[in-house]
Chains A and B, each alone.
Chain A
Amino acid sequence: MSLEILKNIQLKDKNQQQSLENAISIGSPSMKHEEWKYTYYNKIFQNPFEVNIDTKNENQKIDAELVPLLQEEKYKLVFVDGQFIAELSYFPQSQKFSFWNNNNVTESDSKDFLLELNNALVSDGVFVEIQDGFIEEENIGIYYIATKPNQIFNLKNKVKIGKNVQVKFSEYFINPNNISTYYNTVSQIDIDKNSIVVWDKIQDGGELYYLTDNTFVKQEKSSVFTINTITVSGNIVRNNLVIDVNGEYAENHMNGLYLLHGQAHCDNRTLVRHNEPNTNSNELYKGILADHATGVFNGKIIVDQKAQKTNAFQSNRNLLLSNDANIYTKPQLEIFADDVKCSHGATSSQIEDSELFYLQARGIGKEMSRSLLTLAFAGEVLDKLSDRNKQFVEDKIFTTLGINI
């Protein structure tokens, strides 16, 4: 099975059909592309995946108990197998949201395979508008729950955040039955002046799960955006994060944690464009790689000529728990302004023998000591998450590493 499946599809909507043809003519990313050098994207299409372009399945249901997180969540937008499930969802009543469907797909000419694929085959997605001045402490959860095996799902979200807003979203990519599936998601997040937005991505699809997530953020003046991208499992996971800092005094914090074992492969690609002066970006991605896992980090910061007094810091740190695990890391700075402070750094290390011995000398077994030290390494990023998301990720780490304290 290969991309051939795309060629047999005929779409009714002309914008979608155009995007499909664009995707086919661009071709799927190959490892010859600099951007995809370490990630074997076409492996995804070696699976017997089908593209589901049928309209809504009315009987879409899910046993809510499969997803404990969902039950305790107040505000939530729930998608099961690429479809929005109204009965499981609940949104702040004062705020607007609507959906993507075949009627509002727009023209796209992105030159990007994943974006064209998404535009062509989008099955659902939310269009959220948060009004000026809206302040909500409660998390708004966006759930993508996979239950149907061997399907490709394309979801598209657009989130418009007004001025002086404070909100927190979390996206959960979950797969309770551990089926094989491919999700290609696109989110556009526009943040207006003075708003403070926190956005967590919790990706836990299991070893048969493929994910390409594309997130585009635009920030206006004095806005503060924090994004925490946490990958705790997945076969191939690729995160494309692009942030345009378009207003003075805007700042963002990008944190990432990938905890990979088995054959898992996670590729994080971030691009921040500082387009205005007095803007800040702060990036910390940490990776823990066990077994035969592979991590890729590529962080690019572009500082425009007029973006004087920009501060941009970037750091990628990796803990290798096995000799067979690999990390490819490449920070890139392109600075066209002269009065800026920028730094980047990448490290990879192993567990320190002296630390291990210290724990062992207090009666803690070798495995448990390694696990504690691993958790400690992750702590710096985990501490940025809300208690609930932190607990969820910590539990995952405990299970993966077999810790019990």
Chain B
Amino acid sequence: MLQIKNLHVSIDGREILKGFSLEINKGEIHAIMGPNGTGKSTLGNVLAGKDGYEITSGEILFNGENLLELEAHERAQKGLFLAFQYPVEIPGVSNANFLKAAVNEQRKAMGLEPIAPGEFLKMMREKMELVEMKKDFISRSVNQGFSGGEKKRNEIFQMAMLNPQLAILDETDSGLDIDALRIVANGVNKLHTPENAFIVITHYQRLLDYIVPDFVHVMFDGKIVKTGDKNLALELEAKGYEQFELA
């Protein structure tokens, strides 16, 4: 589904990703762990198509297509989703209008008619239940005045509405209390099918008790330095990242 080959990315002339490679197949869950500032969010942003990054070499294929040639919204329409580490507030745009626009743009790209209002409401209600969102949330502005945890939940809610093929969750667990963590993880597990895949970026082994990864990658200084199974996360928890600094 996704192949990242020897990706080098700079910001303002400073290299952040330094030969990052990763292959993801349908049905897989990959966890990426690594110290602050190693480029995990940069990777997510580059995948999602944010401007301001210079791709100096390497390649990204999404279902065989060159991802780097697509605009951000086209990537999303083709089934890529980034749950942001820091979701922005958008005053004046209601969650309902925002999601309706998103759902309909996606449908348009697939050659479908806009969703019927009744069907849309039903879908909203269903998916809100999944992440236990409060009802008044529909009419509120996107993320405005949301608590940290509510913002993260909103990311998962949006993911549920758009039903992506590949979702990148950038520290969605940070700032969540135990209950919220369980809700978010349950949401992800319910959405997980043999047809889709997840990249879960996290600092905490705790999340991986709920969302069980097929692979755990350690990212250090702009690339993957070690790959293992879920036990690698436990090992990291115990030993930290110092071992990689020496390498």
Q: Identify the A interface with B (CB < 8 A).
A: 352-355, 357-366, 368-369, 372-373, 375-380, 405
Contacts and interface: CB of A to CB of B under 8 A. Distances in A.
Contacts of B81: 361
B156 to A, nearest CB: 13
B51 A362 contact: no
A198 to B, nearest CB: 22
Given A353-B51, A355-B88, A357-B72, A364 B102 contact: yes
B100 interface: yes
Interface in B100-114: 100-102, 104-106, 109
Please tell me the size bucket of the interface on B.
20 to 34
Interface stretch (B89-97, B124-132, B176-184, B238-246): B89-97
B158 to A, nearest CB: 6
A364 to B, nearest CB: 5
B48 A405 contact: no
Contacts of B50: 357, 361
Contact of B76 (A360, A368, A375, A376): A360
B36 to A, nearest CB: 20
B109 A379 contact: no
A362 B76 contact: yes
Interface of B: 48-51, 71-73, 76-77, 81-82, 84, 87-88, 90-93, 97-102, 104-106, 109, 141-142, 158, 162
Contacts of B88: 352, 354-355, 358
Contact of A372 (B93, B158, B162): B93
Give 5 closest A-B pairs by Cβ, nearest first: A376-B92, A363-B76, A360-B72, A362-B102, A379-B92
B98 A359 contact: yes
A360 B73 contact: yes
Contacts, number: 80
Contacts of A364: 73, 101-102, 105
A355 B109 CA distance: 22
Nearest to B100: A405
Contact of A361 (B48, B99, B100, B104): B48
A362 B71 contact: no
Contacts of A361: 48-50, 72-73, 76, 81-82, 84
A375 B98 CA distance: 12
B92 A366 contact: no
Contact of A362 (B91, B92, B109, B162): B162
Contacts of A380: 92
A205 B34 CA distance: 60
Contact of B105 (A365, A375, A377): A365
B92 A368 contact: no
Contacts of B105: 363-365, 368
Contacts of A363: 73, 76-77, 102, 105-106, 109, 162
A359 B71 CA distance: 12
A376 B93 CA distance: 5
A355 B88 CA distance: 6
Contacts of A365: 73, 105
A372 B51 contact: no
A365 B105 CA distance: 8
B82 A359 contact: no
A375 B105 CA distance: 18
Contacts of B162: 362-363
Nearest to B109: A363
B71 A360 contact: yes
B91 A405 contact: no
A355 B84 CA distance: 12
A361 B82 CA distance: 7
Contacts of A360: 49, 71-73, 76
A358 B98 CA distance: 11
A355 B87 CA distance: 9
Contacts of B98: 359, 362, 372
A182 to B, nearest CB: 35
Nearest to B104: A405
A359 B92 contact: no
A379 B94 CA distance: 10
Contact of A368 (B77, B90, B101, B106): B101
22 contacts: A360-B71, A360-B73, A361-B48, A361-B49, A361-B84, A362-B99, A362-B158, A363-B102, A363-B109, A364-B102, A364-B105, A366-B73, A368-B105, A369-B73, A372-B93, A372-B101, A373-B93, A376-B90, A376-B92, A378-B92, A405-B97, A405-B100
Nearest to A354: B88
Nearest to A377: B92
Interface centre among A355, A357, A368, A372 (most CB of B within 10 A): A357
Nearest to A362: B102
Contacts of A405: 97, 100-101, 104
B151 to A, nearest CB: 11
A405 B158 CA distance: 18
Contacts of B92: 373, 375-380
